[in-house]
Amino acid sequence: MARVFPLLASQIIIFFLFSFSNQSYGYATTLDKNFFRLKEEKLSHFRLYWHDIYSGSNPTAVAVVAAPQKNSSTLFGAISMIDDPLTEGPELSSKLVGKAQGFYASAARDENGLMMVMNFAFMEGKYNGSTISVLGRNKVFSPMREMPVIGGSGLFRFARGYVEARTHKFDATTGDATVEYNIYLNIFFIFSFFFIIFISGEAHGFAKALDEKLFGLNEEKFTHLRLFWHDILSGTSPTAVQVVPPVANSSTAFGLMNMIDDPLTEGPELSSKMLGRAQGFYAAASQQEVGLLMAMNFAFIKGKYNGSTFTVLGRNTVFSKVREMPVIGGTGVFRFARGYVQAKTYKFDQNSGDATVEYNCYVLHY
């Protein structure tokens, strides 16, 4: 009985905390951030090696969609599914710390640029069962490529940050590659309790804590960008190509998937100043209306944003007047980005499917 009373008392206290400090709205309830100890975020660094293996009898990367244009020098539109080992050292025989699971797709017409969509699933020590998610643009032949971390689970709940990828080894004959990944994450203290011990920056295996001030993570800036997105399906040089056809007899093209490398311009005319490219894909993901899943990186090529990107992942009901989609991460100037975009159709050709869309982008970043 002596043991039952404290347990019952604690349950009553928790009930009253939720009853009086939170508000319920049907299936949703507001929660107290402090109750869940979501207070201070800490910056951490991980280093590991990613092994992409095409060769042999047990490959970890397999082609699932071929490039639709046979004459494409970049295999634009090709998709490979991966279950790649993540190790502590550069050798495949070194300590296995997890798996990179997901896919990458060739999303650039004029360079070897991949769209990476993958989860790093850890299976070692304190991180066992935790994941981080990466979605970004990878120019594979650049010495260093930066991609956003868009979220996580377990110890990495609410994570945001970026990864830096550097090729350690590449076999041009087989396509096998070993890539060093340096990962920089902001994580809430409660979910990274090991920082209590390693707060000084002492290394812990493949992870260590960092000083945020050294990385300039001070006050966030709020930036508005207005640009025009040109999706071109027609002509001899389309910027959007079908890689997966829709299912039969669908009025909404359900199941359709197009890979894009769309120009982003300052004005509504395609001839206006080029600011960058929207690279990624969209897929018809609604059976009752024309609703797209958009997954794309806005890669900038002008001015102070040159080389920087931010990532959009969201739902686009294309015949609505205004569609809003989240910004879930970024690189360069837009590291740790969060925000949203508002899309408004400026011009649409029903015969060709070509479209010009005005994007107003609202981004918080350091």
Are 163 and 70 contained in the same domain?
yes
What is the count of structural domains for the chain?
2
Are 170 and 319 contained in the same domain?
no
Nearest partner of 255 among 265, 241, 245, judged by Cα: 245
- Considering the entire predicted model, what is its pTM? 0.86
Q: Which residues of the chain have pLDDT under 50?
A: 1, 3-5, 7-8, 10-21, 190-204
Residue 250 domain flag: yes
Residue 166 domain flag: yes
Q: Which residue, 176, 192, 215, sits at the end of a domain?
A: 215
Residue 7 domain flag: no
Question: In this structure, what DSSP letter does residue 141 have?
Answer: T
Residue 15 domain flag: no
Are 45 and 192 contained in the same domain?
yes
Q: Which two tokens stand for residue 307?
A: 């080389």
Residue 36 domain flag: no
Are 208 and 257 contained in the same domain?
no
Question: What is the rounded distance in angstroms from the CA atom of residue 230 to the CA atom of residue 223?
Answer: 22
Residue 18 domain flag: no
Are 199 and 227 contained in the same domain?
no
Contact between residue 344 and residue 356 where contact means Cβ atoms under 8 Å apart: no
Go through 172-210 and write b for each residue having 16 or more CB atoms within 10 A of its CB, e for each that does not.
Answer: eeeebbbbbbebbbbbbeebbebbeebeeeeeeebbbbe
Residue 14 domain flag: no
Q: Which two tokens stand for residue 118?
A: 């993958």
**Domain carrying residue 90:** 41-215
User: What CATH number does the domain containing 318 carry?
Assistant: 2.40.480.10
Contact between residue 194 and residue 208 where contact means Cβ atoms under 8 Å apart: no
Residue 3 domain flag: no
Question: What is the rounded distance in angstroms from the CA atom of residue 240 to the CA atom of residue 259?
Answer: 6
DSSP string across 244-273: EPPPTT-TT-TT-EEEEEEEEESSSSTTS-
User: Residue 15 has what pLDDT?
Assistant: 47
Are 199 and 311 contained in the same domain?
no
Are 204 and 282 contained in the same domain?
no
Are 167 and 290 contained in the same domain?
no
Are 246 and 180 contained in the same domain?
no
138, 313, 333 from 299: Cα distances, Å: 11, 14, 11
Go through 299-323 and write b for each residue having 16 or more CB atoms within 10 A of its CB, e for each that does not.
Answer: bbeeeebeebbbbbbbebebeeeeb
Are 176 and 239 contained in the same domain?
no
Question: What is the rounded distance in angstroms from the CA atom of residue 25 to the CA atom of residue 20?
Answer: 14
Q: Which residue, 182, 215, 248, sits at the end of a domain?
A: 215
Q: Which residue, 215, 241, 270, sits at the end of a domain?
A: 215
Are 239 and 184 contained in the same domain?
no
Question: In this structure, what DSSP letter does residue 198 have?
Answer: H
Are 150 and 257 contained in the same domain?
no
pLDDT tens, residue by residue, 307-319: 999 999 999 999 9
pLDDT tens, residue by residue, 95-153: 999 999 999 999 999 999 999 999 999 998 889 999 999 999 999 999 999 999 999 99
